[in-house]
Amino acid sequence: MNNMTACNVCEDSYFDKVLKSALHHSRREKRREMIYILGELRDPRALDALKNIMTEDDSHLVAEAAKAVGKIGGPKAMEQLLIMMHHKSFLVRGEVALAAGEMDHPIKAELLNRLREDVSPYVAYCAHLVLNRRCNRNGKEARGTPPTSKTRLI
């Protein structure tokens, strides 16, 4: 094993140790901060840990994980968003729509169109906004009404 490989192994081991301790912290706020930081780091090594967050009962943590997954991107991240799009919380499903908007993936439009038909007006509106932003070529924020009256926010 050369020095570069040994260094990468040490780095991965340290990353995993810090990740495990932070994501299992007793304080919810610390866990949420770590999830946010993982998204900002955009390190694909964090995707497995974020996948474990998807089983949490705390919808705020799961929603933060959806944001982080969207920032990291890639095929594995899209797989996780496809799973999270069926979460019971509308907050999580809305973040899935917004996170998918940050990614470049062949099934992105299909995912967003399915979320646009969600029973929650919030989720449908998030998907609608992302789809309009993607279609708007001049760089300005897309404005307009949601696709149907059932998706209007009150």
CATH number for the domain harbouring residue 16 = 1.25.10.10
Cα gap 19→35, rounded to integer Å: 9
Cα gap 111→97, rounded to integer Å: 8
CA–chain centroid gap for 80, Å, is: 8
Tell me how far apart the terminal alpha carbons of the chain are, to the nearest angstrom.
61
Cα gap 103→72, rounded to integer Å: 9
**Residue 42 belongs to what domain range?**
3-151
Instruction: Give the predicted TM-score (pTM) of the model.
Output: 0.78
Over the chain (154 residues), what is each successive 10-residue block's mean pLDDT?
Answer: 52 70 81 92 92 91 96 96 96 97 93 97 97 64 48 38
Give the per-residue pLDDT at 24.
79
Number of structural domains found in the chain? 1
Cα gap 8→51, rounded to integer Å: 23
